[in-house]
Amino acid sequence: MSDLKLTYFDFHGGRGEPARLALSMGGVPFVDDRIPIAEWPERKAGTPFGAVPTLQVDGKTLTQSNAINRYVAKLTGLYPSDFWQAALCDEAMDAVEDVVNQIGSTMFLPDDEKKSKREALTEGMFPLYLKQLSKNLEENGGRYFADDRLTIADLKVAMLTRQLTSGILEHIPTDLVERVAPDLLGHFERVMKDPSIKAYYAKHGVEV
């Protein structure tokens, strides 16, 4: 088996969490390299694109969160073998990435500008994407986004739902998902009830 090292920030969530979950759920050994936020400036230059997550596979480095997600999902059986179902999985992950990119673009703005931009996103792009994700979920059976089972796409969408409802993002109402796409809350609860996910967070002392 390959030697794997997943590098991401030292918190439970964000772009690196789906891969962490997938590897843990699949029982695949990996080095969970967690970067304290204070150490990021000195470590940033050592990454290919100045960003994380990165995944080292036998010393070779893979970047881009969805490329990493697909790789680890194939290792752990969390990626569909059917081409159409795989495309549905990718579609959901890429939609989440669009939203996450917009959130990221506001992180270090002055507060007035951050407030203005996030309020605009809350009125425009975010409801559009959340509603479409909810529609995709419904069209694929209402439980999961692809293959009628839990896949890496579900992990990625669930992490977005948790981020938007957690209250950690200033100027984004915590009830946004509930108001515009309540089915995503049910989806989140379904994913979090998976025994292997519950075991992962219990091991790390995180309440879900």
Q: Residues 168-174: contacts with CB within 8 Å, 24+ apart?
A: 169/103, 169/118, 170/111, 170/114, 170/115, 170/118, 171/114, 171/115, 171/118, 171/119, 171/122, 172/118, 172/121, 172/122, 172/126, 173/122
User: Where in the sequence is the domain holding 57, given as residue range(s)?
Assistant: 4-77
Residue that finishes a domain, picked among 29, 44, 77? 77
Say if residue 112 is in the same domain as residue 167: yes
What's the pLDDT tens digit per position in 7-16? 999 999 999 9
pLDDT (tens digit per residue) in 98-132: 999 999 999 999 999 999 999 999 999 999 999 99
Domain co-membership, 70 together with 129: no
* pLDDT at residue 111, rounded to an integer: 94
Please report the pLDDT score of residue 201 as a whole number.
95
Q: Are 145 and 89 in contact (CB under 8 A)?
A: yes
* Pair (148, 163) in one structural domain: yes
Q: Which of 27, 56, 77 is the last residue of a domain?
A: 77
In a domain, 120, yes or no: yes
Note whether 114 and 35 are same-domain residues.
Answer: no
DSSP-derived secondary structure letter, 149: B
Question: Do 117 and 73 share a domain, yes or no?
Answer: no
Q: How confident is the model at residue 91 (pLDDT cuts 50, 70, 90)?
A: very high
Total domains in the chain come to 2
Entry pTM: 0.97
Q: In the predicted model, is pLDDT for residue 188 greater than 80?
A: yes
> Are 136 and 58 contained in the same domain?
no
**CATH code (residue 57):** 3.40.30.10
- Of the residues 25, 57, 77, the one at which a domain ends: 77
At 2 the pLDDT is: 86
